[in-house]
Chain A
Amino acid sequence: MWSISELATDIDAWLNKTFNPTLALAIEMVIAGVAVISLFAILGLVLVLMERKVSAWMQIRLGPNRVGPKGMLQSLADTLKLLVKEGLTPDGADKVLFNLAPFIAIIVAMLLMAPIAFAKDFQLWDLNIGILFVSAVSSIMVISILMAGWSSNNKYSLMGAMRSGAQIVSYELSAGLSILSIVVLSGSLQVSDIIRAQADGWWIFKGHIPAIVAFITFIIAVTAETNRAPFDLAEAESELTAGFHTEYSGMKFALFFLAEYVNVFIVCAIGATLFLGGWMPFHIGTWEGFNHVMDYIPSSLWFFGKTFFLIFVIMWFRWTFPRLRIDQLLNLEWKYLLPISMVNLLLTTAMAILGWYF
């Protein structure tokens, strides 16, 4: 139907016609910045509401249904509330680190928006090491959590931050190895190349068993990376009140809160890109008519549909499973997930060399 990349090229052509090239470039940068920030904000609002409605549906109750039709405007009310709340700094807190921590979380989340392909030919920055960039920048998240926990001058926050640090650093390995399996199959780190390699079928179907194993380890690892249940010890409400963000209130808390949801979106977007074909529509072999109908649906809709499906699965985990204890969690990673990922990577490499995939 519509195509965002055509819209982008049209705007680019018009700008270059009316202004001189450098000014056009500057205006484009401003537009891109505003677009990222607004996407960030809209995603935050939508995901918060989605979480509340999905959790309510699973717990045999209605979610928010007073503000707006069927409770759609609840997130706006929440944002307004957080904006006008008083931002307290605890006595004895390290002021510089305390104020800096939420901003680092937001900066990381925004940087990770760059290499994601939202639609056909529509990426902010298609660099040749796109996937490596994502993996590397997402590791900086752990610094902001440790800063928040340490600078709060609160024993509970410190414990939550320590737990979270250990957890994130461990699970990055499994996540990285499962990403590597797909990189080996497609032969490139560039995001657009990976997507183009899935034009005749998504990697989860083409790569059969090793790709499915990689997908499962990826989902488990990124649930742990983003501190979502069942791995949410860092903010385990029943044990540590609120963990590393206990002492934050007002806008700084809102930033942490948003950063968590946008992180979930980003890792699901990466999962959709690598395993489920990104913006590629769903084709079945030689069914021409079916494929034509599938092609008609715009690529941005495909991308967001797949991402939101994965987000729903991650939310489903949260409301179904109890929480793991810290030593059980680290056991799971070092004794089970990491060896499985390594063996899987070997299998995938063998498969890629021998050409045993579709």
Chain B
Amino acid sequence: MGKDELKTKITELLAAATFEEGGEWLNINVAVGDWPNFAQQLRQEPTLWFDYLFCLTCIDWKTHLTMVYFLTSTKYRHSVEVKIKLDRTNPDIETVSQIWRTADFNEREVYELFGVNFINHPDLRLLILPDGWEGKNPLRKDFEDPINMIRL
């Protein structure tokens, strides 16, 4: 499916979705509350069939956080990018680890590096950082560590 057909199909599923122009793939902006149902539909809808979540990350714009999900379909070979804006002081979002199992580890990594809380995650704890780093979110832009950070 091309970009325009995907656009029409997705507006059918979720009217509140907005799109960004530019970029290699279709960028969809979704609200936090709509995300769980929308994710399920993206996975199950027979003409879309986005079964492969190949990248899950978070970006810290200084006023808010954005979760980015990259999805592709191994059947139809089309891809989309879903972006969700999160409140900086209260970053809560529903987990998708039941839909795409790869999200399990990836969401743990985002939790420890950015502090995003994933509701209903089966096992949310530190993955790569050692014990004692709960609460300090190193990849946020306001993280300061005078001894260890490199600034060239």
Chains A and B share a contact (CB less than 8 Å): no
| Residues of chain B at the chain A interface (Cβ within 8 Å) | none
